[in-house]
A and B are shown apart, each in its own frame.
Chain A
Amino acid sequence: MRRLFDEELADLDNSFTEMGMLVAQTIQKSVQSFVDHDREGAKAILENDHKINEREAAIEKKTFEMIALYQPVTTDLREIVTILKAVSVLERMGDQARNIANSTIRVKGTKHIASVEKELGEIGEQVAAMVSRVMDYYVKYDALGAESIAEENQSWSNRAAKVRSDSVKGMKDDAELVDSAADYLVIAGYLKRIGDYTIDIAEWIVYKRTGKIIELNPGYNYFI
């Protein structure tokens, strides 16, 4: 029993970590395709999104079984709950990567604002790196690391504001930029969501480590 549960929990933990890595990778690729105007790359992300969804479903099913069969308590319960909650967050992050890919496919061929795309690319890389790091903190059981990620998430709000002002200015100056600039705004929003989801996962890492349910995202009010 005890041993069997531990084995299954270790398997579940691995599946969750693997899924996290896959999501981080997908976000990274979606940002890269956007920066490179790589329509094929973006299509590949759309085609592979189901893999993330399938992993989520498999992990959820396994957690239900483990709760029903072993009735876990204390740290075991926290670990299972953390995975069950965080796996939905990972899946939604995957959806945001898909949204970015959709925008990439749309933006292709219209007029661009190079400086905004560069900015978005850099923000995207930072967000993708945050996702990888939060998974790292998950693996290392590092609640303090998880907490530190929340600060980083707020650190790029100025850059996001610049994306907004530059996009709006571009639209005012040249109506042909409206198509691409509208997508810049939503992409900034997608990245913001991914950043917030990263903080959600960080909160679950803190819960797993300490048993405390905390709020690391004070809801800074920037544009999207």
Chain B
Amino acid sequence: MANTIDLKPVSEFISEDAPARYVYDMSPEKHEIALSTHDLQVYYGDNLALSEGDLAFERYKITSLIGASGSGKSTFLRSLNRMNDGVATVKGNITYRGVDINTKAIDVYEMRRHIGMVFQRPNPFAKSIYNNITFALTQRGVTDKQELDEIVETSLRQAALWDEVKDELNKSALALSGGQAQRLVIARALALKPDILLLDEPSSALDPISSAQVEDTLLELKNQYTIIIVTHNMQQAARISDYTAFFHMGKVIEYDLTRKIFTRPKVALTNDYISGNFG
């Protein structure tokens, strides 16, 4: 444990003017950045739903996006792999591997192989467990049975579902429980070997046990993937994420290490939201 006693006078810790906004300095010298946004603005028609979206996400970390409904967190998440195309106008830059992916020149489908998305409600295809995972791959021309078998097993193992379904891979995915279905959807996203996994409230439709399994899975996946998750469950954000961004009325109010956000947030609004003293 690091030394932590500060011998400065107390007056130096008392700040009269708390900041209205705080964003963690994710300097590229100290952090490996997997994805970053610059001056992101999202309009639904003429309506500005999100502005000031300047965030950088560290590689192999879990970042939680929290905030009330309508705060802009899901809008932000969906913009990251262009799920808002055709729904909203997204201005600004989204940088992935040095390339701005928020431009017309980008092949959106190819990009989504690298930046996968898992939604709130488990949405397995009406196919077998096996074919759920291989569907996108076969569409892309992967036909080698052995290769597909391997990908199915690896993806299901990564999503912590393999042991539960290995003997019934041909069963319909629709017969799975909610928690299993959500892990299948995660496995399906992993089959494309993405770099970054975006999850939009992945366990809000699940019971606590299934939710815990999904959380466990995410903690395992962190070793190989960068994970960005929108969650309404603040305890979930606290339990599993390394960083947390608090959104309010279309703006990022505070972005910091999770342990800091949950023990001593810098912005009064964040403090109120996290302690349930809101509105």
Chain A residues near B215 (CB-CB < 8 A): 1
Roughly how many angstroms separate A3 CA and B218 CA in the complex, as a whole number? 12
Question: If A1-B212, A4-B219 touch, does A55 touch B239 (CB 8 Å cutoff)?
Answer: no
Chain B residues near A2 (CB-CB < 8 A): 212, 216
A65 within 8 A of B: yes
- Cβ contact of B238, chosen from A3, A53, A70, cutoff 8 A: A70
- Tell me if B263 and A1 are in contact (CB < 8 A): no
- Tell me if A54 and B238 are in contact (CB < 8 A): no
Number of chain B residues whose Cβ lies closer than 8 Å to a Cβ of chain A: 17
Chain B residues near A55 (CB-CB < 8 A): 1
- Tell me if A1 and B240 are in contact (CB < 8 A): yes
A59 within 8 A of B: yes
- Cβ contact of A58, chosen from B3, B240, B262, cutoff 8 A: B3
- Tell me if B4 and A65 are in contact (CB < 8 A): no
- Tell me if B2 and A58 are in contact (CB < 8 A): yes
Main secondary structure of the interface of B (DSSP, over half): helix
Closest A residue to B1 using CB positions? A58
Roughly how many angstroms separate A50 CA and B212 CA in the complex, as a whole number? 41
B235 within 8 A of A: yes
- Tell me if A69 and B212 are in contact (CB < 8 A): no
Contact with A along B123-134 (1 / 0, CB 8 A): 000000000000
| Docked complex: B239-267 residues within 8 A CB-CB of A | 239-240, 258-259, 262-263
| Docked complex: B45-92 residues within 8 A CB-CB of A | none
B10 within 8 A of A: no
Contact with B along A53-86 (1 / 0, CB 8 A): 1110111011011001111000000000000000
Main secondary structure of the interface of A (DSSP, over half): helix
A15 within 8 A of B: yes
Question: If A1-B239, A2-B212 touch, does A69 touch B1 (CB 8 Å cutoff)?
Answer: no
Question: If A1-B212, A2-B212 touch, does A62 touch B1 (CB 8 Å cutoff)?
Answer: yes
- Cβ contact of A4, chosen from B1, B2, B239, B262, cutoff 8 A: B239
- Tell me if B238 and A68 are in contact (CB < 8 A): yes
| Docked complex: B198-231 residues within 8 A CB-CB of A | 212, 215-216, 219
Chain A residues near B235 (CB-CB < 8 A): 71
- Tell me if B219 and A1 are in contact (CB < 8 A): yes
CB of A19, distance to nearest CB on chain B (Å): 9
CB of B239, distance to nearest CB on chain A (Å): 4
CB of B237, distance to nearest CB on chain A (Å): 9
CB of B261, distance to nearest CB on chain A (Å): 9
CB of A94, distance to nearest CB on chain B (Å): 13
CB of B9, distance to nearest CB on chain A (Å): 17
- Cβ contact of A69, chosen from B3, B4, B216, B262, cutoff 8 A: B262
Residues on B lying within 8 angstroms of A by beta carbon are: 1-5, 212, 215-216, 219, 235, 238-240, 258-259, 262-263
Q: List 21 A-B contacts (CB under 8 A).
A: A1-B215, A1-B216, A1-B240, A4-B239, A4-B240, A5-B239, A50-B5, A54-B3, A57-B4, A58-B2, A58-B3, A59-B1, A61-B4, A64-B263, A65-B263, A68-B238, A69-B239, A69-B259, A69-B262, A70-B238, A71-B235
